[in-house]
Amino acid sequence: MASPRKRLGLIGARGYVGAELIKVLAHHPHFTVDFVTSRTQPGEPVPGLPDLRFEDLDAAAVAARHADAIVLALPNELSHPVVAAVDAAHPQTVIVDVSADHRFDRTWIYGLPEHHRAALHGARRIANPGCYATATALALRPLAALLEGPAHAFGVSGYSGAGTTPSPRNDVDALRDNLMPYALTGHLHEREVSHHAAPVCFMPHVAPFFRGLTVTVSMTFDRPVSRDEMEIRYSEAYAGEPLVKVVPVIPLVREIANHPGAVIGGFAVDEARCHGVVVATLDNLLKGAASQAVQNLNLAFGFPETTGILPWPSP
């Protein structure tokens, strides 16, 4: 006899990531989306879920639903009242927070499955990593033990990464024929990667395409490392990983858009200088957010990890 579906709520699901979550969870065989919240669109139909309408629920009302799982897709610094209310009313609810609010909280599991899979099985509080942080951590971890000093990561993302609130970083006219650097020191994802993977100096940029990102990571090693050793280390580190592909060539953003995983490749070395470079790409809305959140939900409930993810639903 099949087990009953898990009841799930999406909190703050009006943005780009919320739309991707609705797309996959509407057809997930083990979850039923019970409610979807939006402060700005209450009463409007939820695209992709014709039987539901957006609701404007405060923290207590969310907790009163006693959902089996909640995905928080709120802006940073807004999740804490909801978490506190759920903790008090129904602590067994699985919460996946897509914001940055709990990525440095030791009581939450950092939800990068390729590095923390064992801890994610049965987890109840999961902090979904950031998009740049996911790509950079995946690129760094196989060689982190050999680093001599911080790595340097040059990142370029599509403007969907800036969200839907108008700003210069998602202004199509401002971005036309342009590349826009921002937050060149102290970026949140720089601190996140340095905390969870390896020290890094990170330089983000936004470009005039909508989705996807690429990170070029430059590393100095404490001994000479050959290209063959680099490629072997990455291939072994991610062997059997369903959502990470290792390739010998430089991966391109346009090849990863609308795909739920990450691609790592473009290995280059200067052995005389103990210097190596690797490139990682992913879709910032998917492996950088939505598909990783579903991957974490699957692990938390003991479902096959790629359920609902492979293949990702068509745009």
> Residue 315 above 70 pLDDT?
no
- Mean model confidence pLDDT for the chain: 95
As assigned by CATH, the class of the 7-128+289-301 domain is alpha beta
Integer-rounded Cα Rg, in Å, for the chain is 19
**Look-up of token digits 């390729």:** 114
pLDDT category at 227 given cuts 50, 70, 90 is very high
pLDDT at 3: 75
Looking at domain 131-282, what is its CATH homologous superfamily? Dihydrodipicolinate Reductase; domain 2 (3.30.360.10)
Domain range list for the chain: 7-128+289-301, 131-282
- Segment 162-173 shows an average pLDDT of 88
201 tagged catalytic = no
pLDDT tens profile 239-290: 999 999 999 999 999 999 999 999 999 999 999 999 999 999 999 999 999 9
pLDDT at 13: 80
C-beta separation of 253 from 155 below 8 A: no
Instruction: State the pairing for strand pair 69-72/94-97.
Output: parallel
Query: Mapping DSSP to helix (H, G, I), strand (E, B) and coil, where does residue 213 land?
Result: strand
Q: Which of 72, 131, 213, 257 is catalytic?
A: 131
Higher pLDDT, 4 or 137: 137
pLDDT at 40: 86
> Residue 204 above 70 pLDDT?
yes
10 Å Cβ neighbour count for 201? 17
pLDDT category at 219 given cuts 50, 70, 90 is very high
> Residue 71 above 70 pLDDT?
yes
